[in-house]
Amino acid sequence: MDLHRVIFGNTIEHWLQSFALAAALWIGFWIVRKIGAKYLGIIAEKRHNTVYETLSDLTQRTKLLFLLLVSISVALRPLTLPPAIDRVVDRALIVATVIQFGLWGGAFLRLWIEPYLSKKIGHGSNQTSTLAAVSFLLRAVFYSLLVIWGLDNLGINVSALVAGLGVGGIAVALATQNILGDLFSSLSITLDQPFQVGDNVTVDTFNGTIEKIGLKTTRMRSETGEQLIFSNTDLLSSRIRNNRRMSEKRTLIVIGVTYDTPSEKLRKVPQLLEQAASGHPLIRFERAHIRGLAASAIEFEFIFWMSVTPERAHLDQQQEIILRVVESFKEAGIEFAYPTQTVFLGAGAEARSSPLRPA
Block mean pLDDT (10 aa), the chain, length 359: 66 81 89 85 76 80 87 83 80 88 82 64 56 73 83 76 65 61 76 82 88 85 88 85 82 92 92 88 88 91 82 76 92 87 60 52
In this structure, the answer to whether residues 256 and 237 fall within a common structural domain is no
Task: Supply the range of the domain harboring residue 67.
Answer: 6-122+135-152
Tell me whether residue 164 is in a domain.
no
In this structure, the answer to whether residues 103 and 79 fall within a common structural domain is yes
In this structure, the answer to whether residues 213 and 280 fall within a common structural domain is no
Q: Contact, 341 vs 294, CB < 8 A? A: no
Q: Write down the pLDDT at residue 359.
A: 44
Q: Write down the pLDDT at residue 320.
A: 87
Q: Write down the pLDDT at residue 266.
A: 93
Tell me whether residue 174 is in a domain.
no
How far apart, in whole angstroms, are the C-alpha atoms of residue 63 and residue 19? 20
- DSSP three-state, residue 299: strand
Q: Write down the pLDDT at residue 242.
A: 86
How far apart, in whole angstroms, are the C-alpha atoms of residue 324 and residue 200? 29
Number of domains present in the structure of the chain: 3
Q: Write down the pLDDT at residue 87.
A: 83
User: Which sign, positive or negative, has the C-alpha torsion 52, 58, 64, 69?
Assistant: negative
Neighbours of 13 (CB within 10 A): 12
Backbone angles phi, psi at 170, to 5 degrees: -65, -45
How far apart, in whole angstroms, are the C-alpha atoms of residue 174 and residue 85? 47
Domain at 308, CATH number: 3.30.70.100
pTM for the full predicted model: 0.50
